[in-house]
Amino acid sequence: LYDESLKKGIMNFQARYGLKEDGIAGPSVLKEMNTPLSGRIQQIIVNMERARWVNPNPPGNFLLVNIPQFKLSVIENDSTIWTSNVVVGKEMHKTVIFRGDLKYVVFSPYWNVPPGILKNEVLPAIRRNPNYLTRNNMEWHGNTVRQRPGPDNPLGLVKFVFPNSYNIYLHDSPSRSLFEQQKRTFSHGCIRVADARKLAIYLLRNNSSWTESRIDEAMNSGKEQFVTLTETIPVNIVYFTAWVDRSGRINFRDDVYKRDSRVMNMIFQKSNKGGQ
């Protein structure tokens, strides 16, 4: 009998697996339900091993991006203040796992076309259509190409920079519909934030000169502006396909970059060597 109690149970299950919480036991729900228990045990073991490598919850305030969860969490003193959906890198452009310190908020940013995209996409398009740059609000900048600030800029209206050798950063996006997808692997490696305006307000909350109205004005000015944070905030980019949430519920997510089996093999090799 499909009653209200069963519906709530299915929705609770969907929440723990990152599925749409509609209470319908559709194909995605049945797929997760039919995963063997042994597979879930292995998944837990793999992520317990990952937790040994990195502290995903350091003391103080920080931003946490869990790639398989497609979520950014704002953490203050071990409490989650709010979360935002994110888009991460495609399988061929995996978002890198590392820790950085966020130092700059950039309003109305230019998008400097990465070398790979310039070579494989933009230059061939220019050869096919000499008006390609003008039509796409782009311009030459030295030996590379950049797109001018504006609502159609791939970085949206604001980006957040934590200097690193991978050239990875957080940013807004004009492609809003992608944030509603269940599997959000669409970027070239950077992390698109659904609530970018909210993040900008949060990061500048202790700077009285940056009111919400001034932030809105800067985001829509069409003129690039760098703002240095008075205090940097750590950004932890992690990869966990299983974890216990703050309500004590075990969560599972798809292994979007197919990394769990590699870790599991490493664990078995260690245990076999130990046995020998």
- CB contact at 8 A, 81 and 74: yes
Q: Give the pLDDT confidence score for residue 201 in this predicted structure.
A: 98
Strand residues in the chain grouped as ranges (E): 62-66, 71-76, 79-89, 98-107, 111-112, 138-141, 144-147, 158-161, 170-171, 185-187, 191-193, 225-238, 242-244, 250-252
Q: Which residues contact 242 (CB under 8 A, 6 or more apart)?
A: 40, 43, 44, 46, 47, 250, 251, 252, 253
Distance CA 168, CA 171 (A): 10
Distance CA 75, CA 1 (A): 41
Q: Give the pLDDT confidence score for residue 193 in this predicted structure.
A: 98
Q: Give the pLDDT confidence score for residue 246 in this predicted structure.
A: 85
pLDDT per residue rounded down to tens, the chain (276 residues)? 899 999 999 999 999 999 999 999 999 999 999 999 999 999 999 999 999 887 766 778 999 999 999 999 999 988 899 999 999 999 999 999 999 999 999 999 999 998 888 999 999 999 999 999 999 999 999 999 999 999 899 999 999 999 998 989 999 999 999 999 999 999 989 999 999 999 999 999 999 999 999 999 999 999 999 999 999 999 999 999 999 998 899 999 999 999 999 999 988 777 666 655
Measure Cα distances from 265 to 46, 91, 184 in Å: 10, 21, 27
Token pair for 14: 């969907």
Count of other CB atoms within 10 angstroms of residue 244: 11
Can you give the pTM of this predicted structure? 0.90
